[in-house]
């Protein structure tokens, strides 16, 4: 038994109110190193990371996250005032302060057909390889927690995926 592990795994929560304090790059490498220990089918490791620390880029990304949330949840100003619950209040805080976090880490997964789908049965693009990305993401969240770093998983920005690809390229 390793009680420390069970404490850790039981305390990984989505932390949406983050301090803007700087985080040493050394810790980010530890976190990423934990991420890449994750399993992936045939050990293909089909993830790539984009670490955003530049203020302007963080703002640019955060604006697109806000647009994504507003378009999906209709979270306009009126909705925000309408007495949102605890989780929505945290979400609105996160939207407004996302650019203040020291880092935004994008964990990107390749689009790929599941193993052994024959070429003639592939129609259109392969689906995003979420199965490979989420174990990596969870390792990252666990590592952040173990190091005392706040972190929250977000996915809503995916509606803007092509905007990011066009700006930063598909190679990340």
Ligand X SMILES: Cc1cc2nc3c(=O)[nH]c(=O)nc-3n(C[C@H](O)[C@H](O)[C@H](O)COP(=O)(O)O)c2cc1C
Name the minimum Å distance from CB 34 to ligand X: 18
144 binds ligand X (CB under 6 A): no
What does the per-residue mask of binding to ligand X show for 100-139, with x meaning CB under 6 A?
----------------------------------------
Locate 113 and state its tokens.
């057909």
Name the minimum Å distance from CB 143 to ligand X: 15
- For ligand X, the closer CB: 16 or 32: 16
Which of 62, 66, 98, 156 is the binder for ligand X (CB under 6 A)? 156
Q: Is 86 exposed, middle or buried (0-12, 13-18, 19+ CB in 10 A)?
A: exposed
- For ligand X, the closer CB: 5 or 29: 5
Which of 45, 53, 67, 154 is the binder for ligand X (CB under 6 A)? 154
SS3 of the chain: the string is: CCHHHHHHHHCCCCCCCCCCCCCCHHHHHHHHHHHCCCCCHHHCCCEEEEEECCHHHHHHHHHHHHHHHHHHHCCCHHHHHCCCCHHHHHHHHHHHHHHHCCCEEEEEECECCCCCCCHHHCCCCCCECHHHHHHHHHHHHHHHHHCCCCCCCCCHHHHHHHHHHHHHCCCC
Name the minimum Å distance from CB 153 to ligand X: 5
155 binds ligand X (CB under 6 A): yes
152 binds ligand X (CB under 6 A): yes
Name the minimum Å distance from CB 26 to ligand X: 26
Residue pair 146/30 in contact by the 8 Å Cβ criterion? no
Interface region with ligand X, contact rule CB under 6 A, candidates 10-18, 55-63, 75-83, 164-172: 10-18
- Would you tell me which residues interact with ligand X (CB under 6 A)? 13-14, 16, 91, 94, 152-156
């Amino acid at each position: 038994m390793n009680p420390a592990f069970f404490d850790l795994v039981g305390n990984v929560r989505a932390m949406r109110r983050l301090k803007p304090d700087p985080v040493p790059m050394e810790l980010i490498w530890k976190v990423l190193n934990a991420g890449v220990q994750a399993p992936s089918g045939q050990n293909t490791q089909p993830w790539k990371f984009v670490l955003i620390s530049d203020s302007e880029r963080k703002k640019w990304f955060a604006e697109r996250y806000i647009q994504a949330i507003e378009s999906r949840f209709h979270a306009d100003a009126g909705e925000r005032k309408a007495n949102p619950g605890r989780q929505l209040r945290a979400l609105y805080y996160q939207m407004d302060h996302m650019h203040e976090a020291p880092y935004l880490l994008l964990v990107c997964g390749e689009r790929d057909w599941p193993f052994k789908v024959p070429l003639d049965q592939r129609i259109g693009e392969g689906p995003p390889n979420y199965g490979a990305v989420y174990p990596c993401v969870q390792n990252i969240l666990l590592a952040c927690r173990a190091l005392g770093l706040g972190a929250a998983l977000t996915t809503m920005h995916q509606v803007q995926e092509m905007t990011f690809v066009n700006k930063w390229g598909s190679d990340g």
